[in-house]
């Protein structure tokens, strides 16, 4: 018996040592070359769904709304292997679909999703992430009514982050509790357009657990999305969009839509409580001062759907607070970076390293790289320290009575006049050497060198009206024939038949998508920057102040931002006109507008030189296009 005891002790010791070794050999996140590796099976991943209880009752049925969350995660994830989460919350999963190919969710007999739109699941699940496709409240399989950027939109997404961190309840289809014991609680939100807007909104609440967001062509202020300094782009838009994304019976949310129509202030165009609730920079539900997540912004300067002031103002506010951030600035229209020509592989890898850093804690140096990537010509990009170009200098360009635009102020008592009538942009910029009653035009001489605009121009006009108000449009124009990104056609891209793949596939959900190329067109001019204002909102967005007829007043406002190179030999033009018939729903006031040219200018942030090659030295003399053949932007700019 005394001999048996040492043998039993040896066996027990062997088992004690073997147990931890066996656990260490189990499933684990694998990192090589600064990137998580695809060591988990996509085909075998867990596919499930839960309903997270929110804190709102948006459909007024007496019960808190539940958010439908469709989940795909590694089979090995659980209490022994917790994984972070990538969330794409969207209102579009059962209507317009997601991505360039309009993918929708596809469900199996058990109600679980077997086809998740986009590539995020195919690529990231094998690398140790869970991917959640969340139905925004009031859409697809979630409860409630959409309120277009308001409380339901914001708090529904926040509830999902809270559930991942044990602060909210969730239930399975049979009513049993669902606990997220498979996650670290660290989450990212990503998405284009409305999806990215929800990411901005939830980040602005300061919710714990949201570590990073990737807003693509996203809204930061719904007022900026539907207004410009009192000028209205579309009337009753919020209720229209709510009805579009809600595929429930028409009457279910009619009361909510009617309330939005009553509160949106379309009768004045003023900023009010309705818009303050839907502002994520400094709003009622959250603001930039609460943001704890890092932010990777992607936007395009020719996005006339979610106009680029939605990213530029948000970006500056983040910078003022030293929020960790990164940005890509493109030249197409409302396009996902997955569909930037020649950048798809780089985009997937950059996103991968970004998520690895913020969610898995991988030290891969991505935060030490240049902060900004900027498209400076069709499919040609540069990297720089920040955006706008940190070395840009604002230069005031001053109009004169002879139609020139230069550095010197106009002669004393110089004026120019026009009438506030509704005009299309094409009419505003046509025949610039000919007087038109609805606009005035000024141009520089041929540029002696190329100048890059990087940032946001400022229109600073001294005006007199013969009526209390007028709508003003300021356009900065590049006059010179060139081949540029044709963002007006197909959003700036053409989809090819050839595909490439990013991630693993199943029979139900492949990881392959069609490639794209950038559309280009050779035209005599390009409208570079646009800005609009209702004169009575010159001092306040919330309080109208008519201008006393017959007296001068200063009207100063920011145009939309841009990043654009005026080439050597081209001319820069400034057009000042009344109501823009291309992008606003307003009618002209009929007011006669007189500009005091001596005290009017447009300040442009210029960078000397350009990364582009100069135009040929024998550039033709500028005469101005006699007749324009510019296509109007394609329909559909009023929704996203």
Tokens describing residue 524: 């005599």
Catalytic choice (135, 266, 303, 339): 303
Judge if the upstream peptide bond of residue 309 is cis by omega within 30 degrees of 0: no
> Beta-strand (E) ranges in 362-519?
372-377, 380-384, 393-399, 405-406, 415-419, 439-443, 451-455, 458-465, 471-485, 493-501, 512-518
Secondary structure (DSSP) of 76-91: T-BTTB-EEEEEEEES
Residues 294, 212 contacting (CB under 8 angstroms): yes
3-class DSSP assignment, residue 69: strand
Catalytic residue among 54, 58, 77, 193: 193
Residues 220/280, Cβ–Cβ less than 8 Å: yes
Tell me if residue 352 falls in helix, strand or coil.
Answer: helix
* Distance (Å, whole) CA 536 – CA 545: 5
- How many Å apart are CA 239 and CA 63, to the nearest integer? 23
Q: Where are the alpha helices (DSSP H) in 136-214?
A: 151-164, 194-203
SS3 assignment for 193-240: CHHHHHHHHHHCCCCCCEEEEEEECCCCEHHHHHEECCEECCCCHHHH
Which residues share a beta bridge with 123? none
- The pair of three-digit structure tokens given for residue 433, joined into one six-digit string: 């050497």
Instruction: Decide: helix, strand or coil at residue 431.
Output: coil
User: Measured between alpha carbons, how far is 118 from 100 in angstroms, rounded to an integer?
Assistant: 9
Q: Which of 178, 176, 101, 64 is nearest to 132 (CA)?
A: 178
Cβ contact 267:225 at 8 Å: no
Residue 456: Cβ within 10 Å count: 22
Smallest CA-to-CA distance from 430 within 521, 522, 524, 565 is with 524
Cα separation, 163 vs 54, whole angstroms: 9
Residue 334 bears catalytic tag:
yes
Q: Where are the beta strands (DSSP E) in 9-91?
A: 31-32, 35-36, 46-53, 66-73, 83-90
Q: Strand 372-377 vs strand 325-330: parallel, antiparallel, or unpaired?
A: parallel
Q: What are phi and psi of 397, to 5 degrees?
A: -100, 130
Q: Kindly name the residue from 49, 271, 299, 334 that is annotated as catalytic.
A: 334
Q: Please identify every residue annotated as catalytic.
A: 193, 303, 334
């Amino acid at each position: 018996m005394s001999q048996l005891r040492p043998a039993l002790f040896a066996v027990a010791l062997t088992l004690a040592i073997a147990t931890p070794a066996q656990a260490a050999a189990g499933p684990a996140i694998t990192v090589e070359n600064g990137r998580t590796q695809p060591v988990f099976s996509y085909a075998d991943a867990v596919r499930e769904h839960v309903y997270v209880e929110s804190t709102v009752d948006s459909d007024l049925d007496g019960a808190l709304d539940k958010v439908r969350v469709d989940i795909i995660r590694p089979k090995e994830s659980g209490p022994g292997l917790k994984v972070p989460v990538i969330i794409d919350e969207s209102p579009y999963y059962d209507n317009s679909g997601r991505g360039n190919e309009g993918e929708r969710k596809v469900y199996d007999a058990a109600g679980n999703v077997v086809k998740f739109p986009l590539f995020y699941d195919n690529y990231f699940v094998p690398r140790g992430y869970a991917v959640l496709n969340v139905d925004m409240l009031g859409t697809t399989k979630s409860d409630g009514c959409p309120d277009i950027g308001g409380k339901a939109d914001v708090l529904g997404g926040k509830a999902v982050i809270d559930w991942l961190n044990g602060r909210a309840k969730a239930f399975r289809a049979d009513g049993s509790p669902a606990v997220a014991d498979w996650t670290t609680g660290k989450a990212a939100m990503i998405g284009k357009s409305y999806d990215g807007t929800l990411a901005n909104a939830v980040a602005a609440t300061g919710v714990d657990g949201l570590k990073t967001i990737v807003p693509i062509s996203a809204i930061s202020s719904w007022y900026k999305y539907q207004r410009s300094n009192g000028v209205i782009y579309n009337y009753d838009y919020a209720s229209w969009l709510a009805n579009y994304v809600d595929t429930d019976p028409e009457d279910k949310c009619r009361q909510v839509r009617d309330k939005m129509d009553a509160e949106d202030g379309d009768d004045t165009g003023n900023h009010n409580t309705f818009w303050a609730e839907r502002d994520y920079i400094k709003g009622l539900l959250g603001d930039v001062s609460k943001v704890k997540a890092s932010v990777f912004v992607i936007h395009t300067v020719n996005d006339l759907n979610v106009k680029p002031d939605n990213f530029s103002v948000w970006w500056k506010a983040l910078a003022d607070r030293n929020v960790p951030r990164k940005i890509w600035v493109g030249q197409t229209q409302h396009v996902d970076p997955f569909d930037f020509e020649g950048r798809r592989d780089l985009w997937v890898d950059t996103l991968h390293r970004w998520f690895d850093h913020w969610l898995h804690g991988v030290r891969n140096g991505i935060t030490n790289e240049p902060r900004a990537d900027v498209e400076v010509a069709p499919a040609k990009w540069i990297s720089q320290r920040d955006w706008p170009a940190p070395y840009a200098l604002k230069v005031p360009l001053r109009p004169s009575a002879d139609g020139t635009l230069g550095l010197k102020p106009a002669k004393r008592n110089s004026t120019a006049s026009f009438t506030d009538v509704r005009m299309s942009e094409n009419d505003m910029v046509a025949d610039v050497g000919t007087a038109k009653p609805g606009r005035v035009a000024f141009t520089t001489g041929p540029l002696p060198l190329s100048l890059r605009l990087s940032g946001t121009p400022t229109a600073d006009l001294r005006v007199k009206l013969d009526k209390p108000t007028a709508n003003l449009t300021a356009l900065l124009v590049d006059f010179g024939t060139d081949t540029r990104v044709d963002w007006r056609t197909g959003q700036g891209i053409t989809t090819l038949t050839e595909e490439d793949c990013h991630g693993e596939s199943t029979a139900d959900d492949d990881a392959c998508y069609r490639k794209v190329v950038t559309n280009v067109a050779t035209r005599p001019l390009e409208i570079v920057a646009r800005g609009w204002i209702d004169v009575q909102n010159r001092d306040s967005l919330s309080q109208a102040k008519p201008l006393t007829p017959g007296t001068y007043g200063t009207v100063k406002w920011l145009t939309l931002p841009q990043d654009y190179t005026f080439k050597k030999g081209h001319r820069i033009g400034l057009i000042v006109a009344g109501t823009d018939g291309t992008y606003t729903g307003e009618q002209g006031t009929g007011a006669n507008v007189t500009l005091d040219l001596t005290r009017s200018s447009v300040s442009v942030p210029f960078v000397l030189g350009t990364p582009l090659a100069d135009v040929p030295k024998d550039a033709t003399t500028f005469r101005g296009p006699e007749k324009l053949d510019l296509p109007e932007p394609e329909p559909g700019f009023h929704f996203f």
